[in-house]
A = this chain, B = another copy of it.
Amino acid sequence: MSFKNNRITRLFDIKYPVIQGGMVWCSGWRLASAVSNCGGLGLLGAGSMHPETLLQHIQKMKQATDKPWGVNVPLLNPGVDELMQIIISEGVKIVFTAAGSPAKYTPLLKSHGITVVHVIANSRFAAKCEAAGVDAIVAEGFEAGGHNGREETTTMNLIPIIRRSNTLPLIAAGGIGSGEQMLAAMALGAEGVQIGSLFALSKESSAHAVFKLYAAGAREGETMLSLKKITPTRLLKNAFFDLVKTAEDSGATQESLSLLLGRGRAKKGIFDGDLENGELEIGQVATLIKEVKPVSDIFDDLLNGYMQAWQRLSLLQKGNE
How many copies of this chain does the complex contain? Answer: 2
Within the complex, the shortest CB–CB distance from A60 to chain B, in Å, comes to: 33
CB neighbours of A78 from chain B (8 A): none
B288 adjacent to A157 (CB under 8 Å): yes
What 1/0 mask marks residues of chain A from 98 to 136 whose CB sits below 8 Å from any chain B CB?
Answer: 000000000000000000000000111000000000000
Q: Which A residues, 144 to 171, have Cβ-Cβ distances below 8 Å to chain B?
A: 150-157, 160-161, 163-164
Question: How far apart sit A108 and B155, CA to CA, in the bound complex (Å)?
Answer: 39
Apart from the given pairs A157-B284, A307-B320, 13 other A-B contacts in the complex at a CB distance below 8 Å: A2-B319, A2-B320, A3-B319, A5-B317, A142-B142, A157-B175, A157-B288, A160-B181, A181-B188, A184-B188, A186-B187, A229-B249, A249-B251
Question: For residue A4, which residue of chain B has the nearest CB?
Answer: B319
Could you say which residues of chain B place their CB within 8 Å of the CB of A285? 157
State in angstroms the CA–CA spacing of A56 and B54 once bound together.
70
Q: Which of B157, B184, B187, B221 sits near A152, CB closer than 8 Å?
A: B221
**Which of A20-28, A209-217, A308-316 is near enough to bind chain B?**
A308-316
Q: Which residues of A contact B (CB under 8 A)?
A: 1-6, 122-124, 141-143, 150-157, 160-161, 163-164, 174-176, 178, 180-181, 183-189, 191, 220-221, 224-225, 229, 249-252, 284-285, 287-288, 307, 309-310, 312-313, 315-321
Residue in contact with A157 in the complex, picked from B4, B143, B321, CB distance below 8 Å: B143
Complex alpha-carbon distance, A5 and B250, angstroms? 52
Chain B residues near A224: list those with CB within 8 A: 152
A180 touches which one: B142, B183, B187 (CB < 8 A)?
Answer: B187
Cβ-neighbour of A143 out of B154, B188, B315 (below 8 A): B154
**Contact of A1 (CB < 8 Å), options: B1, B124, B163, B320:** B320
Question: Which of B160, B284, B316 is in CB contact (< 8 Å) with A5?
Answer: B316
* CA of A292 to CA of B320, assembled, Å: 28
The residue on B at minimum CB distance from A123 is B220
- Cβ-defined partner of A221 (8 Å) among B151, B186, B251, B284: B151
In angstroms, how far is the closest chain B Cβ from the Cβ of A161? 6
